[in-house]
Chain A
Amino acid sequence: MPLLVKVRSLLRNLFLSRRVDADLDREVHAHLEMLIAENIRAGMPPQEAQRAARIELGGVEQVKEQVRDSRTGAFLDSLLQDFRFALRQLRRSPGFALTAVLILALGIAANVIVFGVLQALVLRSLDVPHADRVMTLQPKDGGPFVSNPEMRDVRDSNTVFSAVADYEFQDFGLEANGVTRPVWGAEVSGQYFEVVGIKPFLGRLLRRDDDDHPGASEVAVISWSAWQSDFGADANIVGTTVRIDKHPYTIVGVTPEGFHGTEKIAQLDIFVPTSNEASLDGFNWLESRSYRNLFSVVRLKDGVTATQVQAELNTIAARLARQYPKDEEGLALKLARPGMIGDFMGGPVRGFLAGVMGLAGIVLLAACANLGSLFAARTADRAKEIAIRMALGSSRWRILRQLLVESFVISILGGAWACGLAWMALTGLASWHPPTRYPMKFFVLPQPSLILMAFLISVAAGVVFGVMPLRQIFKTDPNETIKSGIQSVAGRRWALRDVLLAAQIALCCVTVTAAFVSLRGLGKAMTMDLGFNPKNALLTQFDLSQAAYTGDAADHFQRQLLERVSQIPGVDAVGYANTTPLSGDTLVSAVFSQQSADFRPSNSAFYGYNFDISPGYLTAAGTPLRAGRDVSFTDTAKTPPVAIVNQEFARRLFHTDQAVGRYFKNRDGVSIQIVGIVPDGKYFILSEDPEAAAFFPISQKVSTSTALVVRTQRDTADMVAAIRGVVLELDRAVPIRDLGPWNTQLALSFFPIQVATVALGLFGAFGLLLSIAGTFGLASYTVSKRLRELSIRVALGAQAKQILSAALGRMLILLASGSAVGLLLGVAASRLLSVIVYQASAQDPFVLAAVALTLLLTGSLSVAGPVRRVLHADPATLLREQ
């Protein structure tokens, strides 16, 4: 019953507030009347009676306010009032409101977007049941790769994993409905789907018995998205036969929606057992311990700890090293988080995202500092209003709350905008295919949790800049303020907003420095000597094994292709190789000196990149021959093995470039004569140190993987069509996976640095924008407050220089000190950048000069307006006006 009464009161207070208020007003007035009447009855003269009554009552408005405060829902009611008032205030100064909301929206959006990516790539585990038990195994140092026999040994001799599997990415030539297209998938070992632990959407997944001996089965599982897009969501798909690399495979199942393999940034569409490796790849790595090109995934048994796992891995690795010293010497395995190409990209990605998150935080802080100083300035302008409200019975807390509500309205509006922006950006990112032939895809679709994130950030931001004017409110003395009007600003002490401006400029300076450092790095990377020239060259890639070519047939095909393409008019040079530098699938092998007799890895001189090339490839690639000769088709399996090496190779082995005619040995102990020297280049990633590389005649070791390089001055589109025509004329079944300008296909190499530059550039621009807005805002505020004083000075004969230093001297000190601190911070932070951005150095005088110049320019730009206003002020008019 009492609850009911209370609810009724609440509803009445909220919805009939006008009537309730009128009632209260009448009641208090009636009370006053009765007090007066009482006093008159006691014999006071009427005026005295009224005065005494008023004193006893203590102010009609105050009493009413006290009653209102004690009502049920008073808090809610006044909050609503504050809210309405805040909206009114913002409508009254739409310019301020729009700027504030926009600044916040950008700041919050930056954070939400980066957080969304961070969540997708780092925080969220793989989308499989009990993902916390799924890990990857990788060598303690070096890349993420393991070999098939190693994983088989771990699988068969451990007690800590419930399942162990390895897999290799493959692009398959999938023939369905008479068309062959390249489709990315994986060869997976028998326990792969036990590790993953998902339930099939249709049919069954791959089992151990599909993979227990070479050629065990010819079955395939396709992904849900491939089922949708390539097979028209055919409900009778299970049991259908398709051809993969010309071999018939039976589709036995479809994975559930959302499963895209065990990599976070790749979409795999087809899964086949490793048992058919021999027929798929053209060569067989199932039994090779030295072919470390597989990723592993394992599922830990329940209750097993990481320490137990590591102990057992150490035992197994030690045993393997003893058993197979030639291949496994020094083997050491460790557990790592799965999903980022094993954990290969995990470190850099986590580092980069943490750095960007930091920058996003800085930008948001700067935005808050900016809004904080705007708010503080506005509050100073509203001193009189605040004083009047206090005089009318409002408490300081109530006024503060009203200001806070105002900042919340702004920050929530900003947060809502930010949500929209982030949503668009993340959706765009999720549907974007990076410029690569790899099946890269960012699974960063916006999650509802991001709304919560945006809301939390907005509230935090709102509080941060909302409480800035706190001190101003609490020291307001209504009596003084109303009497003296707005205090003169001349000679005021350093206020919070000054500090805020300096801090904000320092923060913005950090983002600007970061942007310039990465821009400079990008510029350097773009003009870097790659050791080959991707300009005016076309690259065609395909794998003949996908059209069932092996050995001599592949060799024959390639030579025919070379001849036909060289006859196309406009072709300046043409050649082919098994793979090209920076393509991502370059191989490394151990190099031994000619005197070696012990071919264990630890005895190798160094590791070098391997390429198998045809005659003419070097010319087509734009790699000049420094000494010696090119490879030739007369180098065959029957003639002595030869190689062309780069200068780094020669220097490491012989400490001189003069290496033509000398010998080295490979891991099989075969002596190879060096017949040519080429300059150094980049082979795996742009940021690598000079690496050794060797180029072998492809005629001595046939490869089905083909990268045809054509150098031409002719129009790209014509040439692309001509080359495609030649390939298809030779064999229609060859699935071309890439054909286009080499530059475009190199895009992946430049991708990280471009992403970094774009991200940091955006932050830099935003930072700059903020600092301009902040400086301009405070400068014009200062000037407008002091215009009267300044014009008196002008009238009394002050010079322009004196006026400027009086008006904006402090601003300049703030600008200079903020910039200096920011520049130092930026330089310190930029060291972190050089990890991602190749050749980025903050000590670069060019960068320092550019940052300083930019700050100087924007600084002067933003105070230029106010300066003009001061200098052109006409004292006579001004003094008359006020």
Chain B
Amino acid sequence: MLQGWVIIVVSFAYLGLLFAIAYYADQRADAGRSVIASPYIYSLSLGVYATAWTFYGSVGRAASDGVGFLPIYIGPTLMIALWWVVMRKIIRISKQNRITSLADFIASRYGKSALIGGLVTVIAVVGIVPYISLQLKAVSNSFTIVLQYPEIVMPAKIGAVPFLHDTALGVALILAAFAIAFGTRHLDAAEHHQGMVAAIAFESLVKLLAFLAVGTFVTFGIYNGFGDVFARAAASSKLRAMLTPLEGVAGSYASWAWLTILSMLAIMFLPRQFQVAVIENVDEKHLNKAIWLFPLYMLAINIFVLPIAFGGLLRFPGGNVDADAFVLTLPMAERQELLALLVFIGGLSAATGMVIVETIALSTMVCNDLVMPVLLRLRVLRLNQRRDLTGLLLGIRRGAIVLVLLLGYLYFRLAGEAYALVSIGLISFAAVAQFAPVVLGGIFWKGGTRRGALAGLAAGFLVWFYTLLLPAFARSDWLPIGFLETGPFGLALLNPQQLFGLARLDHITHAMIWSMIANIGAYVGVSLSTAQSAEEHRQASLFVDVFKRSGEAGGARFWRGTASAPELFGLLARFLGPASAETVFQDYAHAKGVQWPGGDLAADAEFVHYVETQLAGAIGASSARIMVASVVKEDALTIEEVRQIVDEASQVVAYSHQLEQKSRELEAATTELRAANERLQELDRLKDDFVSTVSHELRTPLTSIRSFSEILREDPKVELAQRRKFLDIITKETERLTRLINKILDLSKLESGTTEWHESPIDMKEVIESTMTAASQLFKENNVRLEARLPQRVPRLVADFDRITQVIFNLLSNAVKFCEAGKGRVEVALAEDNGFLRVDVSDNGPGISPKDQKVIFEKFRQAGDALTDKPRGTGLGLHISFHIIEHYGGRIWVTSRPGEGTTFSFTLPLVREAAATDAV
């Protein structure tokens, strides 16, 4: 079934499907319901990194040096981890400045310099054309191979194809049509091509599935799993060495490291990657998922590369079959027609995806940064007077797409056969790596100047051209091959592949080392020895400090001059078309709350900046600058003024940081104050409670004293026995009053620290026994049992006998209060415990709730509900005890569970006196 017409029909059906998807996505975008606003689509669209080079070439490279192809996919994994910091910044800058391409980005950073934009464009086109030709070659080769089915013959053996029957040309033209249809449909200030992105994401899926399918077939269909393939490879003497391919720090390890670096840079600076990652990004947040999804895609598409490579080498041992074609020839050799067709489509999708995005990105660059700046400067054309330039702009872009594709085709026809797929791709990688210093330097270092960037780019490009592209030409017989062996004019030191005698490196590593030295050296060196203009300084500060400024108005602060709204409208209408310009103006007027047209739309700095940014979205920053300057009267700012504005801005930022800091401190202080205030209010409430409790306590005895005194005074005939009884009560109540007042006085002394302590060596056992005797009457009255568990002897300690007695008495009277008459039982225990004496007073009362346990030692606190329970004490006893024990460096605490009784315990240190003496 693999006749030519079947393949052609299927290919066209596939491309038709792409058109349909792109068309549908564009329709949805126009209707405001974007299909690409998803991190998954974004991650898949990044998969445009995997081209035909990955699809066919990885296996080719793996078949020659084992793991040598992997750095090209591991590098992006290492780089994308840095995207959180780096790419987010680039995306933010690009959105604020309406950047339309990589060239625009670099030109914009270095003072909107048209010269830099042009240079970047030239480097990109020269560097990428071989890469595009590589895709055409892959499609054409795979088509030729499939056509030979069931024979397996390499295209090189078939001989020259007549020009008109060349599939590569046909492919190039169809792809040009696609790129024109979806890349230059209309001019859009946001420069999004949603249809293209949707198609690319779909292609990423197709190529992944196709590769996984053929990988699974080879690994599990032809062989019995990974282990089997590798075991057979290990058994072959020729293949065994590839299982441990790395050797020599200057050899394959250096290649490995430099390939990693190269691909780290390529994933950011290939024009198509910049296009999908930055320009087509619709939401910065999509980056988050892509950071791990995209590496996962890379991993998945590489899992089967080694098994296919070994499988191919084992299956076609003669070397007649190109390893680049194993992916296709293995299923063909096994008579799997459908699979072969799927592989062909997978390869087609890998190639077309790359070519479409790359040509669209390059055409934007060529139009905005190469052709337009020149046309606008040519006064002969009188472009300034043309009413509508949108047609011209689109025409230039379409022309650029066709031109780039034809250049790629030409390169393929003339030079394509000299190299394997991987080598051509790497030459392109090395070219775009030259953008890294000026971009990365540009977004993190304000010091880079326009001349520095020009010098760096030019130096890097020249070295690349000399060490990589010229040798490639030489191999294609465009230059005498002797040039590679002996150097130009027989000067061995200038040998392009062993520059200054640096030998033993592969030519990519060699070229990268020299070009990076030249590039970074010139960029930094010249930047440090030249001054920035006002425009450069302003752009540098806008780029580097992008996160410190808010909104697009950042650039407006740097502009002074006069302009009129109708003139600006005329300008915008010429490039965007009147309808789009109308929308842009109305959006702005709406945001400002004024009328357009007819209203008083002020053409102030902010508005001029707004218009310039919108225009930059269509024609690039440097052209937009020229055009806006032509219709407004500007007062040029001096470098000093720009510096001042930048400094002011950074001072404002610093102030606002300080303010934030201060307000945070204030907030903290307020919280503390509020807590303190709450505490004070609580204490105040407690004091009120206390006063009422004490008043109550005081009033009860006072009332009875007074009433009995009155009886005695008014009725002299009271019997003697009665009289004595009354006097007894009066005396007792007076004593109670005295006790209460004493306690209060005691507490105030304790708290103010004016208590006198009469210290002497005391025997704790003695203290407990005497206190128990004193309290025995109380226990008898309440019908509660009192028991003691005391050791024979305990060491003496130094303390105030009366105070400690007071503590124990407090605990005992406290216990008895909460015990039920008849059943109640209180036990006192004494023990020596690790340098402390410990006293426990346990009862079998109702227990104390955990909530109350926490506060029971506080002043005026009593267990139980203050509202419903009758107070059963002054609430001072425990607090006083706490102070006394604390004074002696001991600890007092309570353990209790509701319903299971309560144990109050305290400890006193035995060595207190000794320790105190030591301390002095």
A binds B: no
